[in-house]
Amino acid sequence: MRILIVEDDADTDVGLAAAFADDPPMWCSRIVEAEAEAAVRAGEPFDLVLLSPACDAAAIALRLRALDPDLPLVALVADPAAAAMPGPADRTLCLSPAIRPTQLRPIARAIAALRKSDALAVRVAALEAERQELAAAQRHAVHLAMHDPLTGAPNRLAFLRALAERVRLPGRFAVAMIDLDRFKQVNDTLGHLAGDELIRQLAAILHRVAPPGALVARLGGDEFAMLFDPADDAAATAAGADVVEACRASLGVFGHPVRSGASVGVVVGEGPLADDPSAVLRRADVALHHAKAAGRGLVCRFDEGMDEGIQVRRRIEQELEHALSAGELSLAFQPIVGRDRLAVQGFEALVRWRSPEHGPISPATFVPVAEESNLIHALGDWVIEQALAASRQWPEQFVSVNVSPRQFRRHGFAGRLTAMARAADVAPGRVQLEITEAAIFEDPERAADTLARLRAAGFRVALDQFGAGYSSLYNLRSFALDCLKIDRSFVSRMGRERESAAIVHSIIHLGRALGLAVVAEGVETFAQVQALRLAGATQLQGFYFSRAVDAAQARAIAAGGMPAVRLAG
């Protein structure tokens, strides 16, 4: 407790000081204001000022109150009832000088305590304000941690927490995983700001069409999830169908029309469950995978058979990664012959996998698995390197290599392929790339640029399985192609279906009109050979001439060791 005792120079009474002997008083006479001001500026104002009878109490009180309006004052004056002291009455006390020091001390302490209590109240108020501010900051931090900053929707963490609570409750519930179609194309063509705007618009659509009481969350990227309580399995599927239908819309994004879409996977559960919520989410993801594999823009409900399939694919992916490094893969080469002399002009490189544990595994099984993962890049590079090395052993024949859609859309694909051919010392003109219509027509502008770069570097480009995919003739005119490969399904049915024969003839005439070579694959009979030659096919390929052979046999065939081809039935 800090008490300032103000006494006049002429005052010889030490009674005031004696009353506060254990609280060393601050003696002051003519520098009262200076002492008080210094204390205020230092953040340590006096708790009480005690004015002796010899002081001009009113004048001193006026000056002190100018510095500190709430300063408690005790003045010893001759006539306390008539004293006129400035300042608040509850902070001013006038006493008779006749009061004994022992009586003055508790009074002064009580008054000084008012100052302490005021300071405490201010501090308490400040602490409460800090507490409220901290609580608000914590609430904001929790909100940020549990919500997506782009859409304001709950994020993956919030969704998993809600799902963890829901699976422990009784009753039917459903989880829908939602993946936006063609979102990457919007990012690549219009930029990431446009992609963000598309995400915001589709998030609003999902909230609008979600069932009552549903939780809609953005899990990341272009993936959303929805948790709701359906009446039955059919209602859960219907909710997913509503999402697909609502997202199938043309939206305006920064002045550009964007055709959106979504695929949905739904899993229905009955609580309470002991499952980890991530296991439920995984099943919904499996269903989503099937919806996308079936053609996108679909809804698919999970069943146990799907889970077995995804487990098989994951095992294949793991074993394929090992096979790449363990030398379990090899290439086989199927001859491609010219129409006129039926001479071997090239070979199609076909990847083969013989697993020590499972035996031969079909490319139809493992290539799609690789395409769904990053393994397709490692697998594709390996095939190209091996094919280039094999072609160096042939006199002049070209090698034709299949390129998956994901490989083809890889950034810098043309430059990477050019560098690989240069490193293998193989002229690009002896390399033909077989790509499917799906690789081209998903992003025609980007595909056209890549094809132009490949053609400029000297590579040949064949459009594989022509007629079985989109077959957009308008887009076909814009692409730098060398060859069309007729899908084997049409060739195999030529003798049985007039429609297939008509399609084959139409493709051949289309190719000739566009100045493109036309390869018919899947040739297995002499009748097919004759029909295709008469129709004008440029090259033929199939079991009638040879099955796919290993590198050594291909080298012998290329050098002229291929068995004579029968030209009579």
Note the pLDDT tens digit of each residue in 96-111: 888 877 777 777 777 7
Of 20-34, 214-228, 250-264, 270-284, highest mean pLDDT: 214-228
Report the percentage of the chain scoring pLDDT > 70. Answer: 86
Query: What is the pLDDT at residue 74?
Result: 86
Q: Is 50 exceeded by the pLDDT of residue 240?
A: yes
Q: Is 50 exceeded by the pLDDT of residue 569?
A: no
Neighbours of 22 (CB within 10 A): 6
Specify the DSSP class assigned to residue 557. Answer: I
CATH code of the domain made up of 3-121:
3.40.50.2300
CATH architecture of 156-302: 2-Layer Sandwich (3.30)
H-helix segments, 42-152: 57-67, 101-146
Lowest mean pLDDT among 67-81, 225-239, 261-275, 462-476: 462-476
Do residues 68 and 45 touch, judged by C-beta distance below 8 A? yes
The model's confidence at residue 85, banded by pLDDT at 50, 70 and 90, is confident
Rounded mean pLDDT, 140-163: 85
The model's confidence at residue 33, banded by pLDDT at 50, 70 and 90, is low
The model's confidence at residue 125, banded by pLDDT at 50, 70 and 90, is low
Q: Is 60 exceeded by the pLDDT of residue 150?
A: yes
What are 199-228's pLDDT values in tens digits?
Answer: 999 999 999 999 999 999 999 888 999 999
Query: What is the pLDDT at residue 567?
Result: 46
Query: What is the pLDDT at residue 26?
Result: 55
Distance CA 207, CA 178 (A): 13
Q: Kindly list the domain boundaries of the chain, sorted by start residue.
A: 3-121, 156-302, 327-561
Q: Is 70 exceeded by the pLDDT of residue 276?
A: yes
Q: Is 70 exceeded by the pLDDT of residue 455?
A: yes
Distance CA 568, CA 278 (A): 64
Q: Is 50 exceeded by the pLDDT of residue 332?
A: yes
Instruction: Please say whether the dihedral angle defined by the alpha carbons of residues 137, 139, 140 and 146, taken in this order, is positive or negative.
Output: positive
Q: Is 90 exceeded by the pLDDT of residue 123?
A: no
Specify the DSSP class assigned to residue 558. Answer: I
Q: Is 70 exceeded by the pLDDT of residue 180?
A: yes
Strands 483-486 and 517-521, by their bridges, are: parallel
What are 368-403's pLDDT values in tens digits?
Answer: 888 877 789 999 999 999 999 999 999 999 999 999
Query: What is the pLDDT at residue 469?
Result: 55
Q: Is 80 exceeded by the pLDDT of residue 504?
A: yes
Question: Which strand (E) or helix (H) includes residue 17?
Answer: helix 15-19
Q: Is 70 exceeded by the pLDDT of residue 433?
A: yes
Rounded mean pLDDT, 79-105: 78
Q: Is 60 exceeded by the pLDDT of residue 470?
A: no
The model's confidence at residue 548, banded by pLDDT at 50, 70 and 90, is very high
Specify the DSSP class assigned to residue 154. Answer: B
Query: What is the pLDDT at residue 12?
Result: 44
Distance CA 557, CA 397 (A): 10
Distance CA 551, CA 334 (A): 10
Rounded mean pLDDT, 451-476: 79
> In three state form, how does the secondary structure of 412-459 look?
CHHHHHHHHHHHHCCCHHHEEEEEEHHHHHCCHHHHHHHHHHHHHHCC
Query: What is the pLDDT at residue 513?
Result: 86
**Mean model confidence pLDDT for the chain:** 84
Joined together, the tokens standing for residue 161 give: 């927490």
Q: Judge if 3-121 and 327-561 fold alike in CATH terms.
A: no
CATH code of the domain made up of 327-561:
3.20.20.450
Rounded mean pLDDT, 438-463: 86
The model's confidence at residue 144, banded by pLDDT at 50, 70 and 90, is confident
Rounded mean pLDDT, 353-363: 88
Distance CA 400, CA 386 (A): 12
Joined together, the tokens standing for residue 209 give: 């069409």
The model's confidence at residue 338, banded by pLDDT at 50, 70 and 90, is very high
Rounded mean pLDDT, 259-287: 87
The model's confidence at residue 245, banded by pLDDT at 50, 70 and 90, is very high
Rounded mean pLDDT, 134-162: 82
